[in-house]
Amino acid sequence: MEIVRTVAELRAWSRAERGRAGNTVGLVPTMGALHAGHALLIRAAATGCGQVAVSIFVNPTQFGPNEDYARYPRTFEADCALAEAEGAHVVFAPGVEEMYPAGAASFVEVEGLSDRLDGKSRPGHFRGVATVVAKLLIAAEPDRAYFGQKDAAQVAVLRRMVADLRLGTGVVVCPIVREPDGLALSSRNIYLNAAERAQALTLSRAVRETEARVAAGERRADVLLAAARAVFAEEPAVRVDYIELVDWATLEPVSTATPGTLFAVAAWVGATRLIDNSIVA
Ligand code: AMP
């Protein structure tokens, strides 16, 4: 596995690979601190594409001024070992100045969608995400890019962006990987102490409660949301950011759950903000 640091090298590699008859390139964008959720994306890319690049870049523009950019976990050596073991051919690990040259003034704004769900409580977050993913897709020119349903609002923003900018990359969404007790894997779970780790299960409990009610035939959004709120009410130490039932494409609230509707929650567990979700079957 090769480690490349510049956009020029990544693009040259991708063009050479895509120039081979029948070959395809997959890209898995990450911020590192790789876990089994990322591993699933890399494996899916290795299954679906002839060549796989994993990008590892803690993107400063998607963090708010009081967020965890400085202390975000950075585990580069272990990340490279995991990426290689899961079938990656290239790790793209640029410096900040490679992705944002001095004086950089160009950003990608996905209007409307960027102000909903996580974008509402993290102003500027999706502008940073859309900008860095656009840069990565323009650099790597992949046939397909792999993202986790874990960040479902991000998926909606990126699908819109890829369609609007006609980037031509296929967007592949992989299911949420969870701990055995239900907690969705996240690079931020290491911030949790033992008490918070237990409280964090409230999110997946609310997701399971909603799934169970939908499976039992309930479709009314107000009833489903009230049931999810009741789950959170049992754990007052956890502070809800949002509990929403929305159209997965527009992120607009719906009054009735239908197949493809996104049920999403975000909550603060101590100083750590966690998210979870489920797509109505
Ligand atoms: P991150 O490194 O947190 O920016 O995440 C990189 C990619 O991994 C994103 O597409 C995430 O949605 C995905 N991802 C993160 N956690 C999980 C998980 N528990 N299961 C599946 N995919 C995940």
Nearest CA to 154 among 108, 119, 183? 119
Per-residue tokens: 49: 């594409």
Nearest CA to 181 among 158, 163, 161, 208? 208
Residues with CB under 6 A from ligand 1: 30-31, 37-38, 40-41, 147-148, 150-151, 174, 176-177, 184-187
Q: Provide mean pLDDT across the span 61-82.
A: 98
> Is residue 35 annotated as a catalytic residue, yes or no?
no
pLDDT digits (tens, 9 = 90+) for 41-63: 999 999 999 999 999 999 999 99
| pLDDT grade for 223, boundaries at 50, 70 and 90 | very high
CATH of 187-276, one of 3.30.1300.10, 3.20.20.80, 3.40.50.720, 3.50.50.60: 3.30.1300.10
Residue whose structure tokens are 């976990």? 73
% of the chain beyond a pLDDT of 70: 100
Q: Find the 21 Cα to ligand 1 centroid distance in Å.
A: 31
What are the sequence ranges of the domains in the chain? Answer: 2-174, 187-276
Per-residue tokens: 110: 């996905």
Number of residues in the chain: 281
Ligand 1, atom nearest to 148 Cα:
12
Nearest CA to ligand 1 atom 6: 30
CATH of 2-174, one of 3.30.1380.10, 3.40.50.720, 1.10.287.3510, 3.40.50.620: 3.40.50.620
| pLDDT grade for 19, boundaries at 50, 70 and 90 | very high
Ligand 1, atom nearest to 186 Cα:
16
3-state DSSP assignment of residue 116:
coil
Ligand 1, atom nearest to 175 Cα:
21
